[in-house]
């Protein structure tokens, strides 16, 4: 019945699919065309997270991944230590997680830094609207 | 250059799309015909070097003796190479070279040529090749404005988005949506004008329906804009008026929401694709 009503009143057929595919493909295109935007987003992200924890700036990875109906940003930010959790409770909501039990003889996960005190956190952010970031043709005038 | 010189010059508009086969050449021929029928002097340049087509669409293929590269390489004068249209006064074609390659065109020479045409014509329409490589860059080089042609397809919209990004703000690109099939839009089987331009967000010059008569007129080498009584021909004239700065509505084929009966009909009437 819901399907019936959808077809009666909503957008139906393959044009909705086309629109959805177009929206996602353009988001991906615009991100690909704007590496400097991703760099600056990375910097801002690091700056924000560094207020709470010490991160390994050299090993940050930011990727974008197509999921079912959205584009997801996946950031892998290795944390080296927690910044001075002070007594007044200002940043104490970031309670350190218990360290994973090291398995004797087995290697640590290859993407975890050796000196790490915590496993890397995975931050997921959903991006809603496409960014209109485009590269420009050098002016030929 | 002094402002007054620039103001006296004609406008050089590149017609481009990124994707091939969306109707750049047909659009150029029809828009040029419609502009010239308004009394303007119009030069059309086929910048698709190696794949000369604009002469065919205009029905001028037997009259082309010199081409763009003959002029650029000074084997022919501009006057000898400009072919007067056989249907419309004030319309001229500078054909592409068929046996050469796009990379043979020197960008600076192309710029100079377009500039000299702007001294003599009210409009210089440059039919760009598909792609975003040197051929596109040369077509764009002399232009001051751009018209982008897009069909209601995912790939075409994506390519136009890319081309508009490459053009930047300097060319103030305007959009023509081509080959729209209102019946399919009504049934939800084709992207609508709103779907396409909701994403591209460009000033819309107009929408051209996918009509069999375009094929027939192209077969004959007579642009549809010669027939102002046909609805598509009239749409090209409305687009030309808008290009000329007249305050007329962008032509859009009737495609208002499907009636409830049509929706019910399409639900029971067979497979959705």
- Which letter, b or e, does each residue of A104-132 get, where b requires 16 or more Cβ atoms within 10 Å of its Cβ? eeeeeeeeeeeebebbbeeeeeeeeebee
Q: State the maximum Cα–Cα separation within chain A, in Å, rounded to a whole number.
A: 67
The reply to whether A58 falls in a domain is yes
The reply to whether A48 falls in a domain is yes
The reply to whether B196 falls in a domain is yes
More confident position, A39 or B23: B23
Whether the per-residue pLDDT at B214 is higher than 60: the answer is yes
- Residues in chain A within 8 Å Cβ distance of B272: 12-14
More confident position, B227 or A106: B227
pLDDT for B196: 97
Mapped onto helix, strand or coil, the DSSP state of residue A102 is coil
Whether the per-residue pLDDT at B232 is higher than 50: the answer is yes
Residue at token pair 């000898």: B80
Whether the per-residue pLDDT at B265 is higher than 70: the answer is no
- Put simply, whether A110 touches B (Cβ < 8 Å) is no
Contact B154/A14, CB-based, under 8 Å?
A: no
- Put simply, whether A33 touches B (Cβ < 8 Å) is yes
Give pLDDT tens digits for A77-105. Answer: 899 988 765 655 454 444 445 555 444 44
Q: How far apart are the first and last CA of chain A?
A: 60
The reply to whether A89 falls in a domain is no
> Confidence class of residue B88 from pLDDT cuts 50, 70 and 90?
very high
The reply to whether B273 falls in a domain is no
Nearest by CB to A15, from B141, B165, B190: name it. B190
Distance from CA of B47 to the nearest CA of A (A): 17
Whether the per-residue pLDDT at B140 is higher than 90: the answer is yes
The reply to whether A76 falls in a domain is yes
- Residues in chain A within 8 Å Cβ distance of B166: 134-137
Q: Give dist(CA B7, CA B111) in Å, integer.
A: 18
Q: In this structure, are residues B36 and B89 in contact, taking their beta carbons and an 8 Å threshold?
A: yes
The reply to whether A72 falls in a domain is yes
The reply to whether A52 falls in a domain is yes
ipTM of this complex prediction, to 2 decimal places:
0.80
Q: Give dist(CA B24, CA B14) in Å, integer.
A: 10
**CATH number for the domain that contains residue B197:** 3.40.50.300
Tokens of B38: 């308004």
Q: What are phi and psi of B204, to 5 degrees?
A: -90, 120
Tokens of B230: 């046909």
Whether the per-residue pLDDT at A107 is higher than 80: the answer is no
From B147, B169, B171, select the one nearest B160 (Cα to Cα).
B147
pLDDT for A62: 85
> Confidence class of residue A66 from pLDDT cuts 50, 70 and 90?
confident
The reply to whether A45 falls in a domain is yes
Contact A15/B185, CB-based, under 8 Å?
A: yes
- Of A122-136, B72-86, B87-101, B161-175, least confident by mean pLDDT is A122-136
- Domain span holding position B259: 3-268
Task: Work out how many domains chain A is built from and give that number.
Answer: 1
> Confidence class of residue B268 from pLDDT cuts 50, 70 and 90?
low
pLDDT for A94: 47
- Tell me how crowded residue A55 is: count the other CB atoms within 10 A of its CB: 21
Contact B111/A140, CB-based, under 8 Å?
A: yes
Whether the per-residue pLDDT at B219 is higher than 90: the answer is yes
Whether the per-residue pLDDT at B113 is higher than 70: the answer is yes
- Domain span holding position A74: 16-84+112-129
Q: Give dist(CA B71, CA B88) in Å, integer.
A: 23
Q: Which of A11, A22, A28 to mutate to test the interface with B (most CBs of B within 10 A)?
A: A22
> Confidence class of residue A42 from pLDDT cuts 50, 70 and 90?
confident
The reply to whether A10 falls in a domain is no
Q: Report, as an integer, the average pLDDT of B213-234.
A: 94
pLDDT for A135: 42
- Put simply, whether A37 touches B (Cβ < 8 Å) is no
Task: Work out how many domains chain B is built from and give that number.
Answer: 1
Q: Give dist(CA A59, CA A74) in Å, integer.
A: 14
Q: Alpha helix (H) ranges present in A11-139?
A: 14-32, 35-50
Contact A23/B137, CB-based, under 8 Å?
A: no
Contact B166/A136, CB-based, under 8 Å?
A: yes
Q: Give dist(CA A63, CA A72) in Å, integer.
A: 8
The reply to whether B136 falls in a domain is yes
Distance from CA of A74 to the nearest CA of B (A): 24
């Amino acid at each position: 019945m819901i399907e019936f009503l959808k077809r009666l009143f909503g957008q139906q057929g393959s044009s909705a699919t086309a629109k959805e595919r177009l929206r996602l493909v353009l988001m991906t295109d615009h991100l690909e065309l704007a590496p400097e935007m991703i760099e600056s987003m990375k910097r801002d992200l690091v700056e924000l997270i560094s207020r709470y924890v010490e991160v390994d700036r050299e090993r940050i990875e930011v990727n974008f991944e197509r999921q079912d109906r959205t584009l997801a940003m996946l950031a892998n930010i290795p944390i080296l230590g927690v910044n001075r959790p002070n007594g007044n409770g200002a940043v104490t909501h970031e309670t350190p997680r218990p360290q994973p039990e090291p398995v004797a003889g087995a290697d640590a996960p290859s993407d975890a830094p050796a000196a790490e005190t915590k496993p890397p956190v995975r931050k997921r952010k959903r991006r809603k609207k496409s960014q209109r970031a485009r590269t420009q043709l050098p002016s030929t005038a | 250059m002094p402002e007054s010189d620039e103001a006296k010059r004609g406008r050089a508009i590149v017609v481009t799309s990124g994707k091939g086969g969306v109707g750049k050449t047909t659009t150029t021929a029809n828009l040029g015909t419609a502009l010239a029928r308004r009394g303007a002097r119009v030069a059309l340049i086929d910048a698709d070097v190696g794949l000369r087509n604009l002469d065919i669409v205009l029905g001028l293929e037997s009259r082309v003796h010199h081409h763009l590269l003959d002029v650029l390489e000074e084997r022919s004068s501009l006057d000898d190479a400009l072919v007067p249209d056989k249907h419309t006064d004030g319309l001229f074609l500078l054909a592409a070279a068929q046996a050469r390659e796009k990379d043979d065109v020197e960008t600076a020479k192309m710029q100079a040529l377009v500039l000299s045409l702007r001294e003599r014509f009210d409009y210089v329409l440059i039919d760009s090749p598909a792609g975003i490589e040197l051929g596109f860059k040369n077509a764009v080089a002399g232009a001051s404005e751009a018209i982008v042609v897009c069909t209601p397809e995912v790939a075409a919209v994506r390519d136009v988005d890319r081309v508009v990004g490459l053009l930047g703000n300097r060319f103030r690109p305007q959009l023509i949506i081509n080959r729209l099939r209102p019946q399919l839009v009504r049934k939800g089987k084709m992207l609508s004008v709103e779907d396409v331009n909701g994403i591209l967000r460009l000033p819309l010059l107009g929408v051209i329906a996918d009509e069999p008569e375009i094929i027939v007129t192209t077969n004959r080498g007579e642009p549809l804009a010669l027939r102002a009584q046909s609805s598509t021909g009239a749409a090209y004239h409305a687009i030309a008026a808008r290009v000329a700065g007249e305050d007329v509505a962008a032509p859009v084929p009737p495609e208002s929401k499907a009636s409830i009966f049509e929706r019910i009909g399409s639900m029971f009437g067979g497979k959705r694709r």
